[in-house]
Structure 1
C-alpha cells in the first residue's frame, strides 16, 4: 500500500518535468508528509472532441470519488487501488478506461512490522539517484450535488495511486508497493485515447518491476509533522 508520501518539487519544476501546459495548482504546497485526502499534484492529459490533447499539472484530493457517488467521502478507503482488480471495480473502472494520471513523488513511506513485538519501523523508499518517481494513478471528477452548476466550488478532482504485490527487494518491508512507471511509459499511460483495461494495468505492473526493484529504503524517525527532516536516514542524524 501507499499511505504517506513526499513531494518537494515546486509547480514550475513539475511543469517542466512533465512538459505540461499548466493547470490549476494554486492550492499545492510541497510536503514531506502527504496523507490521504490531502491535496496532491497529478499529471494528466485530457482531450475534448476534435481538439488537441492538453497535458496539465493539477491538484487533486488524494482519495478517488467516482462521479456517481452521492458524497465526496467514500465509505471505503480509496487512496489506493489494487492493480489486479481496478479494471473491474465499479469505483475505479471508468477511470481505468480513460482517466489515468501520474502522481509525482520523491518517495513514499512504509512501516515494517516486527512480528514478535508488533513494533512498526518507518522507512522512506525512494529512487537510488533521487530521481522523481511517477506513480501510476487514476483520477475522477466529482460534482457536489448541493451546489449549483455554475458554482466553481462544485467540482472536485480526486485521485488514487495504484498498488501491486511487492517486488522482491521490498517485500520484507510490506507486501504491497505503489506502481512506479518508467518514464518511457508515462505518455502512453496518461493518453486518454488509449482505452484502459486489465491488460493495460498488467502492462504497467510489469514495466514497473525493474523501477521498484531498484528503489532504496532508509530507516527514518517517526513520520510526524512536516519538513525535509522526515526523510533523513537515521544513520545520518549526526551529520
Structure 2
C-alpha cells in the first residue's frame, strides 16, 4: 500500500517535468516530507480550463485532497480510508471505476515510506510480558533520483449543505493506484535489510514511466482494457530503498531530515 510519502519539488520543477501548461501560484504547496492521508497534494491532470470557451484538455498542476470521495457519496467521511486503489480491480470497484474511465492523474512524489519489522522480532518476551518491536521505516525512491510519478485517480464531490458560491462547496480528492511489489533485486539495496521491494511490503504505488504519461492523462481514452494495459508495472531494477529515522512515524514531524539515509536500521526499541 501507500500510506505516507514525500513531495518536495516545487511547481516550477513539476511543470517542466510534466509539461504543465497551467498552474496557479496561489495553489503552491510547501515542501512536504511526511505526506499523510487527508493532506492536500499536487496532482497533474489533463482537463478543460474552468469557464473557458475552448474545451480542449489542458495539462494542469492542481491541489487535491488525498483520500478519494466518490461523487455519489452522501458524506466525505470515508475519504481518509480511500487513499489506495488496487490496479487489479480499480476498473470494476464502484468507488473508482468512473474515475478510472475519465479522471486519471499523476501524483508526483520524491518517494514513499514503508515500515518493516524483522521476522525474528515480531513477538518478544520481556520480563514475562509479550512486547512488539518498533517497526523500521524505509524510504523507497527511483535509483536515478527522478520523480516518482504515482498513477492516481481524482474525483469531485459536491457538499449539498452549502450554497454554490461557498469555497468548500466542492471537494477535489484523489487516490493512489497500487500494484504488487517487485520481487526482483533493488537497483540499490541497503547494506542491511530487505533486498527487494516485496520484502518491505507486498504492495507498492504504481509508478508510471515518462513514456506512459500522455496516454494515462488523456481523458479521451476511455476503453477499459486499453487503460488497464497502462497499469503494467515499470521495468525492474529502477528502485532503491534505505532505512530512515523512526521520526517519520509521527505525522507531526516534517522536514528534509526525514529523508536522511541511515547506515543501518535503528536499534530495535520495544514498547
Q: TM exceeds 0.5?
A: yes
1:232 aligns with 2:233: no
Give the secondary structure class of the aligned counterpart of 2:219.
Answer: coil
Q: Corresponding residue for 1:56?
A: 60
Show the 5 A alignment for 1:117-136: 117-118=121-122, 119=133, 120-136=135-151
1:179 aligns with 2:194: no
Instruction: For residue 71 of structure 1, report the CA deviation from its aligned partner.
Output: 1.0
Q: Corresponding residue for 1:71?
A: 75
Change (3 A) 1:111 1:234: same
Instruction: For residue 151 of structure 1, report the CA deviation from its aligned partner.
Output: 2.1
Correspondent of 1:141 among 136, 150, 156: 156
1:210, 1:27 → 2: CA distance? 32
1:4, 1:100 → 2: CA distance? 20
* Runs (5+) with no aligned partner, structure 1: none
2:226, 2:217 → 1: CA distance? 15
1:219, 1:40 → 2: CA distance? 24
* Runs (5+) with no aligned partner, structure 2: 123-132, 184-195, 265-271
1:205, 1:104 → 2: CA distance? 16
Show the 5 A alignment for 1:146-185: 146-168=161-183, 169-185=196-212
2:79, 2:165 → 1: CA distance? 28
1:45, 1:129 → 2: CA distance? 27
1:109, 1:76 → 2: CA distance? 18
Give the secondary structure class of the aligned counterpart of 2:98.
Answer: helix
Give the secondary structure class of the aligned counterpart of 1:16.
Answer: helix
Instruction: For residue 113 of structure 1, report the CA deviation from its aligned partner.
Output: 2.5
Aligned pairs, number: 234
Query: Given that residues 215 and 221 in structure 2 are in contact (C-alpha distance below 8 angstroms), is that contact kept between their aligned partners in structure 1?
Result: yes
Show the 5 A alignment for 1:1-239: 1-24=1-24, 26=27, 28-47=29-48, 51-74=55-78, 77-118=81-122, 119=133, 120-168=135-183, 169-201=196-228, 203-206=229-232, 208-210=233-235, 213-222=237-246, 223=248, 224=250, 225-235=253-263
Instruction: Tell me how large the CA RMSD over aligned residues is.
Output: 2.0
